């Protein structure tokens, strides 16, 4: 939760839903979706205090629920990758201005200090902007998180964003032609670490999703035979890191649910 004081570190990422394929979500016009801001906060539970952290975080969510916080809060455990063991909470589908209008920021920070950072160390904080035109579906903006999110972090050479986005658009065209493709949501880092950086969140429902659809951007372009787009990707991206985030419904708060 943003109330606690967090140091700014490098970020890592998430997205979607099995039934919410790219084609299905495009037809849904009535879902929640009120903005392009994505704020992520991460914590490292102190040794031997994971149970206390979970209980404290639930108590902090009750603080938000009792005050009818309109912001959604999604929780994930990072279960593989360099940062395995971290807990990430994020707010998606809101405006950036909404974060300036949070309910009782002073009380929020005090409660977070009692119930959250008493049992964990802040690990990173970062903000992203949703890139709708690069994405195939928006499960988090529609407040419909998937069980698992495969997260890719692409770090670019400065000035190569247009080249990189050309490659992403080519991949998006391929995905939109596949009715069973999982949701791919793209976010461009606004602040909070290394930039330029983009985060791709691919929604999966269970590990079975990896048996059928675990393709990275580069693999997708290779299989599509789009040599130009693959060259754009190679010319722009310097590093790619991937993680798996496991959704914690018990450590999440979706308004009205």
pLDDT score at 5 = 33
Token pair for 198: 């983009």
Q: Using DSSP bridges, classify how beta strands 148-156 and 74-80 pair: parallel, antiparallel or unpaired.
A: unpaired
Q: Which two tokens stand for residue 98?
A: 């909404």
Which residues, 6 or more positions from 88, have their beta carbon under 8 angstroms from its beta carbon? 12, 14, 40, 41, 42, 75, 76, 77, 78, 245
Which domains are seen in the chain, by residue range?
22-251 (3.30.70.100)
- Please say whether the beta carbons of 38 and 141 come within 8 A: no
pLDDT value, residue 179 = 84
Q: Compute the distance between CA of residue 42 and CA of residue 83 in angstroms, rounded to an integer.
A: 10
- pTM attached to this predicted model: 0.85
Instruction: Say what the pLDDT of residue 32 is.
Output: 63
Can you read off the two tokens belonging to residue 230?
């693959």
CA dist 81 and 35 (Å) reads 29
Residue 189 near residue 196, CB atoms below 8 Å: yes
- Contact assessment for residue 166 and residue 134, using Cβ atoms and an 8 Å cutoff: no
Helix axes 50-66, 105-115, angle to 10 degrees: 160
How far apart are the C-alpha atoms of 219 and 230, rounded to whole Å? 9
Nearest to 135 by CA among 22, 14, 34, 11: 22
Q: Which two tokens stand for residue 49?
A: 């205090």
Note down pLDDT in tens along the chain; length 257 residues: 654 433 322 223 333 333 333 333 333 334 466 789 999 999 999 999 999 999 999 999 999 999 999 999 999 999 999 999 999 999 999 999 988 888 899 999 999 999 999 999 999 999 999 999 999 999 999 999 999 999 999 999 999 999 999 999 999 999 999 888 999 999 999 998 888 999 999 999 877 666 666 567 888 898 888 999 999 999 999 999 999 999 999 999 999 88
Give me the pLDDT at residue 86, please: 98
pLDDT for 213 equals: 61
Polymer length in residues for the chain: 257
């Amino acid at each position: 939760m943003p109330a606690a004081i967090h140091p700014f570190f490098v970020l890592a990422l998430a997205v979607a839903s099995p039934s919410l394929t790219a084609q299905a979500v495009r037809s849904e016009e009535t879902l929640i979706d009120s903005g392009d801001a994505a704020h992520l906060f991460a914590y490292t539970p102190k040794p031997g205090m994971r149970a206390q952290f979970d209980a404290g975080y639930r108590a902090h969510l009750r603080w938000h629920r009792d005050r009818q916080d309109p912001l959604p809060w999604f929780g994930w455990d990072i279960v593989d990758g360099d940062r395995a063991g971290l807990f990430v909470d994020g707010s998606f589908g809101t405006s950036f201005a909404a974060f300036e209008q949070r309910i009782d920021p002073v009380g929020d920070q005090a409660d977070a200090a009692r119930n959250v950072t008493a049992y964990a160390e802040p690990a990173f904080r970062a903000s992203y902007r949703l890139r709708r035109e690069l994405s195939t579906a928006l499960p988090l903006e529609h407040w419909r998180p998937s069980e698992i999110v495969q997260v890719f972090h692409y770090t670019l050479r400065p000035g190569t964003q247009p080249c990189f986005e050309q490659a992403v658009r080519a991949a998006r065209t391929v995905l939109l032609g596949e009715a069973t493709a999982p949701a791919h949501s793209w976010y461009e880092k606004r602040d909070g670490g290394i930039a330029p950086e983009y985060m791709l969140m691919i929604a999966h429902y269970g590990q079975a999703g990896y048996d059928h659809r675990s393709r990275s951007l580069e693999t997708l372009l290779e299989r599509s035979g789009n040599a130009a787009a693959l060259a754009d990707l190679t010319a722009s991206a310097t590093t790619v890191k991937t993680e798996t985030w496991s959704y914690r419904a018990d450590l999440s708060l979706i308004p009205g649910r």
